[in-house]
Amino acid sequence: MRLTRRDFLVGSTALAAGASVSAPFLLPKYHTDHRPRRSRVAILNAEKYSQELDQILAAGLRLFPIDVQGKTVVLKPNLVDYAPGDAINTHPLLVLAAAESFRRMGAKSVVVAEGPGHQRDTQLVLSQSGYQESLRDEKIRFVDLNRDELTRTPLRASYMGMRNLWLPRTVLEADFLVSMPKIKTHHWAGVTLSMKNMFGVVPGARYGWPKNILHWKGIQESILDICGTVPVHFVIADGIVAMEGNGPLNGTPRPFGKIVLADDPVAADATCARLMGLEPYRIVHIREGSRFLGNAAPSFIDQVGETVTAPAEPFQVVPEFRLLHEWTIGVPQVCRTLRSRAS
């Protein structure tokens, strides 16, 4: 069969059109691979919020080769709204313990920073949730990220199709950013852990209360773009009392007795999900994050402290996320792997 010049042109055009249509789906949506060769996660037992958290956390942090000497440390808790008796926010005692530990480790300054997503009156959330008094007593500065000075920042991942985000100066200038989530299920994202917690750095004064544009661009996509752009250096996850069901605001408190520390947010979130009895690879931002942000596979995670054991009763989720209870690989197998690493 003879290939005419016309055939060649038609074929080339078709090939070019096909490539241009499929390229956006095939090309990676992240600019840089941030994954460390190995990640480290520590699970600490803590049954209640008490002054003992100071010692528990200090001991946990010693399991990591952290150097914050002379650095500006920003602690980013999950502070959304307040309802008496509910496990919505990262507990202030854990944040105080973290601040104290980093100060002892030689940090130049320790700042607590958050931009609540629902409640415009940040001071009201701070006072009702017990933060205001605690931070004042310990002379720890709080920065309202909803109203901080902003810098237009090019995104280093392109899952949601935005090129830039206006982000707060305090976060961009941090030498050491610590995500301190509350371990919770989430009715739109599946879970809200260290990666979803970074939603709070997006300023309400520029994106509204809640940051509705991010919901429309896709929650999972937004999480990936934010975490791809603002590196989380360390995670301290509050699971002493966690939340299950219709989180992040209206779920049920669940006494869980765990604090999870990690030097990699993806490893932290994957481990938290396993502890919750949820399959991390079924959570889009953890699965996709494991391609460029960190490690979700147990074989790349050095487990220290307590071992990963899935709970007898997995965390309840809203019906749309029932799939999280189905494991792609058996939970006992994952736990065995992690247990052997821990030992």
Measured CA distances, 203 to 151, 169, 180 (Å)? 11, 11, 18
Selected from 36, 149, 161, 328, the binder of another protein by CB under 8 A is: 149
Spatial contact of 274 and 307, defined as CB atoms under 8 Å apart: no
Contacts of another protein in 41-100 (CB under 8 A): 81, 83
Which residues contact residue 22 at a Cβ distance below 8 angstroms, ignoring those fewer than 6 apart? none
Binding span for another protein by CB under 8 A among 16-24, 103-111, 147-155, 303-311? 147-155
Q: 85 or 330, CB closer to another protein?
A: 85
- Whichever of 249 and 335 has its CB closer to another protein, that residue is 249
| Sequence-ordered list of residues with C-beta below 8 angstroms from that of 305, at least 6 positions apart, any chain | 42, 43, 44, 60, 63, 261, 342
> If we measure between CA atoms, which residue out of 84, 98, 88 comes closest to residue 46?
98
Query: Closest separation between CB of residue 189 and another protein, Å?
Result: 14
Which residue has 């313990």 as its token pair? 97
Residue entry with tokens 């752009």: 229
Q: Which of 35, 187, 196, 233 binds another protein (CB under 8 A)?
A: 187
- Closest contact distance (angstroms) between CB of 241 and another protein is 19
Helices of type H across the chain: 5-26, 53-61, 92-104, 122-128, 131-137, 169-172, 204-207, 212-217, 219-229, 265-275, 284-289, 331-342
| Comparison of 150 and 284: residue with beta carbon closer to another protein | 150
Strand partners, 4: none
Q: Which is nearer to another protein, 117 or 239 (CB)?
A: 117
Stretch that binds another protein, among 46-54, 246-254, 284-292, 309-317 (CB under 8 A): 246-254
Measured CA to CA, the distance from residue 209 to residue 211 in angstroms comes to: 5
Binding of another protein by 252 (CB under 8 A): no
298 HSE (CA, 13 A, CB side): 25
Q: Could you say which of 31, 103, 108, 118 contacts another protein (CB under 8 A)?
A: 118
Determine, following the binding rule CB under 8 A, whether residue 133 of this chain makes contact with another protein: no
Nearer to another protein, 118 or 156 (CB): 118
Q: How far is CA 198 from the centre of its chain?
A: 6
CB 155 within 8 A of CB 228: yes
Residue 327 interacts with another protein (CB under 8 A): yes or no = no
When binding is defined by CB under 8 A, the residue of 101, 119, 222, 316 that contacts another protein is 119
* Tokens standing for residue 329: 């690989």
Question: Which residue, 122 or 271, has its beta carbon nearer to another protein?
Answer: 122
- Cα separation values, 312 from 62, 241, 274, Å: 30, 17, 12
Q: Is 209 in the site for another protein (CB under 8 A)?
A: yes
- Does 210 engage in binding with another protein (CB under 8 A)? yes
Query: Of 56, 58, 150, 304, which lies in the binding site for another protein, with binding defined by CB under 8 A?
Result: 150
Among the residue ranges 51-59, 118-126, 229-237, 273-281, the one whose residues contact another protein (CB under 8 A): 118-126
Task: Report if residue 121 touches another protein, rule: CB under 8 A.
Answer: yes
Is 207 one of the binding residues for another protein (CB under 8 A)? yes
Report the alpha-carbon distance of residue 201 to residue 226 in Å, rounded: 9
Choose which of 32, 123, 333, 340 interacts with another protein (CB under 8 A).
123
Q: Does 216 bind another protein (CB under 8 A)?
A: yes
Q: Counting contacts by CB under 8 A, is residue 172 touching another protein?
A: no
Q: Using CB under 8 A as the criterion, which residues of the chain lie in contact with another protein when the complex forms?
A: 81, 83, 118-124, 126-127, 144, 147-150, 166, 187, 205-210, 212-213, 215-216, 246, 249-250, 318
